[in-house]
Chains A and B, each alone.
Chain A
Amino acid sequence: MTTSSNSERILVTGYGAATPFGLGAEALHQGMLAGESRVEKLKEPLDQLRPGYGGVVALGARDIRKLPNSRDMRPGTMTRYTFLSTLALGNAMAHGEVPFEDDEDALRRGFYVASYTNSDRFDKYVRFAHHVSGEDNSGAPTILDSEVPTAIRKFSSFEFLKLMNNMPTAHGGIHARCQGPCNTFLGTPSGGVQAIGRAVEVIRDGLADTMYAGGVGASVHPQMMMVRATRELNSDPSVEPTEAGRPFDSEATGIVPGEGGGVLVLERESTANGRGATVYAELAGYGEWFEAPATPRGIAGSTAGTVRSAQKALDAAGITAHDIDLVVAHGEGRTDLDALEARGLADLLGDRVSEVPVLSLTAHIGATEAAVGPLSAGLALEVMRTGKLPGVMNRGKPISEFKGPTGTESSDCVVRHALVSITTREGINAAIVLSAVS
């Protein structure tokens, strides 16, 4: 599926980010230009859970208070996902200088965000499970239902509201005064790109003039870390944390937990022009393709998902692979998926594969789940805006499938068209094209 081509342009008039480098895509870009990694050893008790390190966003409730229209925000009612989503949304609102009044415009504003749901009190769930666990007369494990009413009182009532997987959207709808379409996308690191792509269509359908769209990830969390540890997907605990995230590198040992949120402000061209908004780029194309894993818990057997999702985005933008100046890819940090993604990008780029830079956030902040696409878009927009291209990091011994440049030094560049392409373990792949606007 590709974006429609039958109406006015959809422009990016702001972008927000919350990453381990702080608030704003500029901070992320500057950190990458400096060749820094913000992956660090975790505190107790998470340091006991493989790999024991991750990319943590060191922002708090006070930072929420500094955001536009934050008066009604209640950080205490937010899970980490909602908190990071709210930070990124507020940062985007400020960056785009988007109004947030309860007026007619609010009826035509919406918010699409990709997320997950996790309790921040996973410790309480572990203790709950322990509390209600027992043995029957034969010594077999059983659940003591009679203990549940007592055990459940250890939770606050708001815990169960916070858990609902649409809460990032719900908080955002209140925060940004969005009374138009609002929805939450789940379940894959490409979800943030899907949210952006579908938000474009909502504007094209005439249902909104302005859409906030992005994604959030909070995998520095015992639940996600335990899932990955169980599947042996996490990186090696013995590796130096700043060297652990190794996209497209043969010495990569696995996924580095990371967290963050990224949100774009998308506007119909006439709306952006009408309010005199600063235009950062055109959201020129979107594409996606699902290819099921070839084996249980495996990855796709061919590059079709990567190639077709990206090709659709290029087609929608009216450009070819020869026009791409920059790729920001997933680079998850496990060699099986990275090899698939690298082969897909090589198939797409053809004879230009050796010259088109391929960036990835993984070395700098870890794997950020559904935030990776929107944050990658924010990075691409910063590269387009400043003309400063970060060098690659932790890619000293690239996998054989990776054919792109591996220069570690930052350099000057001109990017007219950037491709954000997210290949996922789940097989749900999505891509967008950001094009400079003259």
Chain B
Amino acid sequence: MSARRVVVTGLGVVVPHGDDIDDVYRQIAAGTNICDRITKFDPTGFACQIGSEVKYTPDAPTEVGPYSVHNAALQYTAGAAQKALAYAGLGPASGEASDRRAVVLSTGVGPANIHFLGPIARRLHGADADPYKSDLGSFYDYAPGEPEAEGMDDFHLDTAAPICAVMLGAAHVYNTASACASGSHTVADAGALIRRGEADVVLAGGICTPVTRVLVPGFAMLQALSTRNDDPSRASRPFDAGRDGFVMGEGAAMLVLESEEHAKARGATILAELAGWGYSCDSYRLTDPQPDGVGMALCMKRAIESAGLGPEDIGHVNAHGTSTPLNDAAETLAIKKALGAHAYKIPVSSNKSMFGHLIHAAGALEGCLSVKTLTEGIVPPTINYEEADPRCDLDYVPNVGREMQVDAILKNSFGFGGMNVSVVYRRYEG
């Protein structure tokens, strides 16, 4: 394997806390919650009424090359990419796409915004028709010619990664998904492209817009979401004994990764080193992590080894920390398996306590915050930590951020289906 070092030179976000990563980090370090009652629709009567929403219009281009940036997900994508490239000091791409540049982006939305088909069905079948007895064949024959059917394009974010590729001037595009592990997975895959010499610059990250009328009640049916509807600001409470599920969040986050020599050659400010990464799959169950945390521990060990470090070199764990009963207990067990006694000596915190779970974007956002932790010297807290769970017995930085210099951060991301990814961000020393 090549010894090329991978460095982080740019960070960009469009997330509930804002679209300026420096300001977002200040809020996170100060323990500022953003989870609240959902406003995008009226959630009265929903099992879960809590979300973490982007409540502003992001600064994003309306067109990128041949692509229209026509919906919120694409605006978040283009906005975050624009911010990340500007942060890295990379100007707008021009000319032919470069063989040395790549995009690795994770997208997730699914058939989440289905409502546009409703008016078509009403028009065809009549306002009084029983939706559950209407003729689907006639709907399928009629609907494609109706203007609302254009909304079908929004089901899949096929153009999100190509939009980023045009913005970066990249000749290589990967659109990947590993559920909640996706954001860190893209960072790890991007690091691998650079380390083995295939690329010099990679834009990596994720985008997700799951705060919808379908997915919020749908995931509530899976009993994955918090139903602390009367107290939304305290709903996301990773590692706390009273946790009852996660809060669905939306947004996009991206990192610019470069080979060290490329960054130095262009005089870029190097924010941190992406020192290593590890992958594993539980091969266990679709919904539950391995309760003994073996798979999670394996990817943490692989990441630390990939970074050329030992467990004692890790100064902080930026946990996956979803606020679900199963994940947080299994992750705690896994951290102890991976780090041994050292696990009790270092701060372990969950950023999700403040903004919920951004699913495909989560690992990338928390990666951006990990980089800022290295450069700014404040380990963010786990807020809403009030009552200890005997299964969760580490130092979770309860409620107040902690000023301390950290040299290496282990960032965990674990997804439905047993997808595990850990990455190690390290203070850059040239």
Residues of A within 8 A of B (CB): 1-2, 4, 44-50, 77, 102, 106-107, 110-111, 116-119, 122-123, 125-133, 135, 141, 143, 145-146, 148-149, 152, 154-161, 163-167, 169-171, 173-174, 177-188, 191, 194, 198, 201, 204-207, 222-223, 225-227, 229-230, 288-298, 308, 426-428
Contacts and interface: CB of A to CB of B under 8 A. Distances in A.
B66 A295 contact: yes
B158 A132 contact: no
A45 B177 contact: no
Nearest to A300: B66
Interface string B72-114: 0000000000000000000000000101001000011011001
B141 A49 contact: yes
CB-CB nearest 7 A-B residue pairs: A170-B417, A133-B118, A160-B218, A45-B137, A229-B144, A130-B131, A130-B121
Interface string B180-197: 001001000100110011
20 contacts: A47-B137, A49-B144, A106-B283, A118-B111, A126-B136, A130-B131, A131-B131, A141-B122, A152-B221, A154-B132, A167-B417, A170-B179, A182-B178, A187-B157, A206-B1, A207-B279, A227-B153, A290-B172, A291-B171, A297-B66
A47 B136 CA distance: 11
Given A45-B140, A145-B42, A146-B44, A289 B171 contact: yes
Interface string B190-218: 00110011110000000000000111011
A343 to B, nearest CB: 19
B149 A226 contact: yes
A308 B116 CA distance: 40
A110 B1 CA distance: 19
B141 A174 contact: no
B56 interface: no
Contacts of A164: 108, 110, 177, 179, 416-417
Contacts of B115: 129, 132-133, 143
A169 B178 contact: yes
B60 interface: no
Given A130-B131, A135-B127, A145-B44, A119 B152 contact: no
Nearest to B215: A160
A45 B143 CA distance: 13
A152 B97 contact: no
Contacts of B121: 126-127, 129-130, 133
Contact of B176 (A183, A290, A293, A426): A183
A290 B165 contact: yes
B147 to A, nearest CB: 10
B67 interface: yes
Given A167-B417, A174-B283, A179-B283, A141 B217 contact: no
A182 B175 contact: no
A160 B222 contact: yes
B155 interface: yes
A427 B279 CA distance: 29
A1 B172 contact: yes
B156 A126 contact: no
Contacts of A178: 281, 283
B23 interface: no
A231 B323 CA distance: 42
Contacts of A226: 140, 143-144, 149, 152
Interface stretch (B284-292, B337-345, B402-410): B284-292
Given A160-B215, A292-B165, A293-B66, A167 B286 contact: yes
Given A163-B110, A166-B178, A186-B176, 10 more contacts: A50-B144, A126-B121, A126-B136, A130-B134, A163-B218, A164-B416, A171-B286, A178-B283, A187-B175, A226-B143
A187 B136 contact: no
Contact of A102 (B179, B219, B279, B283): B283
B42 A146 contact: yes
B10 interface: no
B336 interface: no
Nearest to A176: B283
A95 to B, nearest CB: 21
Contact of A290 (B158, B162, B415): B162
Contacts of B161: 187
Given A123-B136, A207-B279, A166 B179 contact: yes
A213 to B, nearest CB: 13
B217 A173 contact: no
A274 to B, nearest CB: 22
Given A152-B214, A226-B149, A296-B66, A110 B175 contact: no
A205 B213 contact: no
Nearest to A191: B175
Contact of A183 (B42, B158, B178, B285): B178
Nearest to A428: B173
A170 B419 contact: yes
Nearest to B117: A129
A392 to B, nearest CB: 30
A124 B134 CA distance: 11
A292 B162 contact: yes
B230 interface: no
Given A132-B118, A143-B213, A1 B99 contact: yes
A353 B241 CA distance: 69
B140 A46 contact: yes
A127 B214 CA distance: 13
B149 A230 contact: yes
B43 interface: yes
Contacts of A111: 281
Given A179-B282, A179-B283, A226-B140, A1 B102 contact: yes
Contacts of B71: none
Nearest to B65: A292
Nearest to A291: B97
A7 to B, nearest CB: 9
Contact of A205 (B156, B192, B416): B192
B68 interface: yes
A122 B136 CA distance: 10
A174 B284 contact: yes
